[in-house]
């Protein structure tokens, strides 16, 4: 449950019931990283020792105070006061009121506001990306890249604001026309996970806004500072445009806030990113009230390399997909299928590549590999390695916790398991790559699809026939189907999401905007007659 973004877990971040910073010993406050000179840049984001975690046009928060920690050394960064249920109720009301104003603004004008949000993020991209590295633990280039992804989706949304809408359809009745009308759903709730604390909110926020919706965000408790910092940037743009800040509301919190959002009929669409286990509970709660949910859940992603593959592409692709973000992407490659004739060579090359990975402080621009997000993640990593051994696997690289401060584990390669091994069918949010041998195309396509999730997949081959079979109805059953590139690193222009236990939701590009709107078919009679469809006479 450690990777749940605070929906049903009792507590994800360590907290206290103290009523304010004045009750905390000065010695403790001085240990916060935000008070140390090398982290003075945090204050450029408007962060303080204790931060209000509720925004609905004004900042507040009367809930539990939590401390967030740096995964690289497990030292406390700063504190955030979360939302109480009274805060949540007030915020939903204000967000609904703000929506009534926002929905009346023409879509291209809404796009202009989103453009300004993108520009404001550009100005803070380095410092905000650094906060992502500090609080989440991903390397600096990925932290900055995540903010860039929010910027990119803002740019995309600006153009989309002049393009959304439905077709005008011919009617079988003279003097009639059919119009497909799209309107905003209203209030979009967004619950995000720790691993992409900026980008996933950005995908939802930018598109939902140009569609005319208000947003209510609850980020993961362990990345609450990021949620606060991003909201401060967005809120400034709204305030500068004399718009209600509650258009983009924030309620930092845990189980009570997440459950309230799932059950609240005033939340017209709930976008949830997190584990399959919790996503199922979210879907049931939302469906019980006949609401809409957009689910981005787990992935047990595979790379398949055939004997005709270019190994100079296979090895770096597998390395990035398996080790990037310390194996904590939903698109991380967890299974690698190698045709028998190339198995040993690829494994040997991978071992050499793994040995050259630069490990260290994620804020160091030369580092390629940082820590896991929490101590619980380290425990899950060790449990998965032991289970793989019990099921007959051999650890050919890594498998241990690193002897250094923080939540560092060795990137790990396991060979010798059967493709149906239970542990290989279990998504572990850690840098463990299970490597298998296969004989032919037919069996490996089946193996790719035999796991419950269906997010991302990739093959490496030069055979055009095989490529199009892979893309076809008997090929990969995933939402992301790649050829000669890694499983991770999707661009914002395409719809992002997966099938089966991944949830079926789609975010970001293509026609994902439709998820944030409701569709009406409108038949307009501009004649003086009243013919009925299908030639029916009712006289």
Same domain? 264 vs 400: no
Same domain? 212 vs 121: yes
Q: Are 381 and 430 in contact (CB under 8 A)?
A: yes
* Residues 274, 290: Cα–Cα separation, whole Å: 21
Is 508 among the domain residues?
Answer: no
Give how many domains the chain has, as a whole number: 2
Per-residue pLDDT at 446 exceeds 60: yes
* Residues 250, 257: Cα–Cα separation, whole Å: 11
* Residues 37, 373: Cα–Cα separation, whole Å: 24
In this prediction, residue 12 carries a pLDDT of 34
Task: Output the average pLDDT for the chain.
Answer: 95
In this prediction, residue 471 carries a pLDDT of 99
Same domain? 280 vs 315: no
Per-residue pLDDT at 22 exceeds 80: no
pTM of the prediction?
0.93
In this prediction, residue 98 carries a pLDDT of 99
* Residues 305, 14: Cα–Cα separation, whole Å: 43
* Residues 302, 464: Cα–Cα separation, whole Å: 20
What pLDDT digit, counting tens, does each position of 224-265 carry?
999 999 999 999 999 999 999 999 999 999 989 999 999 999
What pLDDT digit, counting tens, does each position of 292-344 carry?
999 999 999 999 999 999 999 999 999 999 999 999 999 999 999 999 999 99
Is 530 among the domain residues?
Answer: no
DSSP string for residues in 146-213: HHHHHHHHHHHHHHHTTT----EEE-SSTTEEEEEEEEE-SEEEEE--SSSTTHHHHHHHHHHHHTT-
Q: Of the residues 276, 296, 316, which one is the last residue of a structural domain? A: 296
In this prediction, residue 30 carries a pLDDT of 62
What pLDDT digit, counting tens, does each position of 191-210 carry?
999 999 999 999 999 999 99
Query: How sure is the predictor about 15, in pLDDT bands with cuts at 50, 70 and 90?
Result: very low
Taking phi over 0 as left and psi of -120 to 50 as alpha, with beta for the rest, 57 belongs to left
For residue 75, what is the domain's CATH number? 3.40.605.10
Same domain? 291 vs 384: no
Same domain? 350 vs 283: no
Query: How sure is the predictor about 3, in pLDDT bands with cuts at 50, 70 and 90?
Result: very low
* Residues 453, 506: Cα–Cα separation, whole Å: 15
Same domain? 238 vs 323: no
Per-residue pLDDT at 214 exceeds 80: yes
| Token pair recorded at residue 217 | 């965000």
Query: How sure is the predictor about 9, in pLDDT bands with cuts at 50, 70 and 90?
Result: very low
The secondary structure of 438-451, three-state, reads ECCHHHHHHHHHCC
The count of C-alpha atoms lying within 13 angstroms of the C-alpha of 57, restricted to the half-sphere facing its C-beta, is: 16
Is 532 among the domain residues?
Answer: no
* Residues 428, 515: Cα–Cα separation, whole Å: 29
Q: Of the residues 242, 272, 296, which one is the last residue of a structural domain? A: 296
Query: How sure is the predictor about 396, in pLDDT bands with cuts at 50, 70 and 90?
Result: very high
* Residues 90, 159: Cα–Cα separation, whole Å: 34
Per-residue pLDDT at 346 exceeds 60: yes
The secondary structure of 76-117, three-state, reads EEEEEECCCHHHHHHHHHHHHHHHHHHCCCCHHHHHHHHHHH
Per-residue pLDDT at 28 exceeds 70: no
Per-residue pLDDT at 108 exceeds 60: yes
| Token pair recorded at residue 210 | 């140009």
Same domain? 361 vs 265: no
Q: Are 5 and 220 in contact (CB under 8 A)?
A: yes
Is 201 among the domain residues?
Answer: yes
* Residues 218, 192: Cα–Cα separation, whole Å: 7
The mean pLDDT of 95-109, rounded to a whole number, is 99
Reference 499, options 446, 455, 456; nearest CA is: 455
Same domain? 349 vs 245: no
* Residues 366, 10: Cα–Cα separation, whole Å: 37
The mean pLDDT of 472-496, rounded to a whole number, is 97
Is 27 among the domain residues?
Answer: yes
Is 536 among the domain residues?
Answer: no
Per-residue pLDDT at 127 exceeds 90: yes
Same domain? 193 vs 330: no
What pLDDT digit, counting tens, does each position of 428-440 carry?
999 999 999 999 9
Q: Which domain holds residue 50?
A: 15-296
Is 539 among the domain residues?
Answer: no
In this prediction, residue 539 carries a pLDDT of 83
Catalytic residues: 296
Q: Of the residues 263, 296, 329, which one is the last residue of a structural domain? A: 296
**Among residues of the chain, what percentage have pLDDT more than 70?**
94
What pLDDT digit, counting tens, does each position of 259-290 carry?
999 999 999 999 999 999 999 999 999 999 99
Same domain? 145 vs 205: yes
In this prediction, residue 25 carries a pLDDT of 46
Same domain? 291 vs 308: no
| Token pair recorded at residue 225 | 């500072």
In this prediction, residue 29 carries a pLDDT of 52
Per-residue pLDDT at 110 exceeds 90: yes
* Residues composing the chain: 539
What pLDDT digit, counting tens, does each position of 53-87 carry?
999 999 999 999 999 999 999 999 999 999 999 99
Same domain? 192 vs 256: yes
For residue 348, what is the domain's CATH number? 3.40.309.10
In this prediction, residue 414 carries a pLDDT of 99
Is 71 among the domain residues?
Answer: yes
């Amino acid at each position: 449950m450690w990777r749940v973004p605070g929906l049903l877990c009792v507590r994800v971040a360590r907290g206290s019931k103290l009523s304010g910073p004045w009750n905390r010993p000065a010695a403790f406050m001085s240990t916060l990283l935000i008070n140390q000179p090398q982290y003075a840049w945090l204050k450029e984001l408007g962060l303080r020792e204790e931060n209000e975690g509720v925004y609905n046009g004004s900042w507040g928060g009367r809930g539990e105070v939590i401390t967030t920690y740096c995964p690289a050394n497990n030292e406390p960064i700063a504190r955030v006061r979360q939302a109480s249920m009274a805060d949540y109720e007030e915020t939903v009301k204000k967000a609904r009121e703000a929506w009534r104003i926002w929905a009346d603004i023409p879509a291209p004008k809404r796009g202009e506001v989103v453009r300004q949000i993108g520009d404001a993020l550009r100005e803070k991209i380095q410092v905000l990306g650094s906060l992502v590295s500090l609080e989440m633990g991903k390397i600096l280039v990925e932290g900055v890249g995540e903010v860039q992804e929010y910027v990119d989706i803002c740019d995309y949304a600006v153009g989309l604001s002049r393009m959304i809408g439905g077709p005008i359809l011919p009617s079988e009745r003279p003097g009639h026309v059919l119009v497909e009308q799209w309107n905003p759903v209203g209030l979009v709730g967004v619950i995000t996970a720790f691993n992409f604390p900026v980008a996933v909110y950005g995908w939802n926020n930018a598109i939902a806004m140009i569609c005319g919706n208000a947003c209510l965000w609850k980020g993961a408790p362990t990345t609450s500072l990021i949620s606060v910092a991003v909201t401060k940037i967005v809120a400034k743009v709204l305030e500068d445009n004399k718009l209600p800040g509650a258009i983009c509301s924030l309620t930092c919190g845990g189980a009570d806030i997440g459950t309230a959002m799932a059950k609240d009929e005033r939340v017209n669409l709930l976008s949830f990113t997190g584990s399959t286990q919790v996503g199922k509970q979210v879907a049931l709660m939302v469906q019980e009230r006949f609401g809409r949910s957009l689910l981005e859940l787990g992935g047990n992603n595979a790379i398949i390399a055939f004997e005709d593959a270019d190994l100079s592409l296979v090895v770096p692709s597998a390395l990035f997909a398996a080790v990037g973000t310390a194996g904590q992407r939903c698109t991380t490659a967890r299974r690698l299928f190698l045709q028998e004739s190339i198995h040993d060579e690829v494994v040997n090359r991978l071992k050499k590549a793994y040995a050259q990975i630069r490990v260290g402080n994620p804020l160091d621009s030369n580092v390629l590999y940082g820590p896991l997000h929490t101590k619980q993640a380290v425990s899950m990593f060790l449990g998965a390695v032991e289970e793989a051994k019990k099921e007959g696997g051999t650890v050919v690289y890594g498998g241990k916790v690193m002897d250094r401060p923080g939540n560092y584990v060795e990137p790990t390669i396991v060979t010798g398991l059967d493709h149906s091994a239970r542990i290989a069918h279990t998504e572990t949010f850690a840098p463990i790559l299970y490597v298998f041998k296969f004989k032919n195309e037919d069996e490996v396509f089946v193996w790719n699809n035999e796991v419950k999730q269906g997010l991302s997949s990739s093959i490496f081959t030069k055979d055009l026939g095989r490529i199009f079979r892979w893309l076809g109805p008997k090929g990969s059953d995933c939402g992301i189907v790649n050829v000669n590139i890694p499983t991770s690193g999707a661009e914002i222009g395409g719809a992002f999401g997966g099938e089966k236990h991944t949830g079926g939701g789609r975010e970001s590009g293509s026609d994902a905007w439709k998820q944030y709107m409701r569709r009406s078919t409108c038949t307009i009679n501009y004649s003086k007659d009243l013919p009925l469809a299908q030639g029916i006479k009712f006289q």
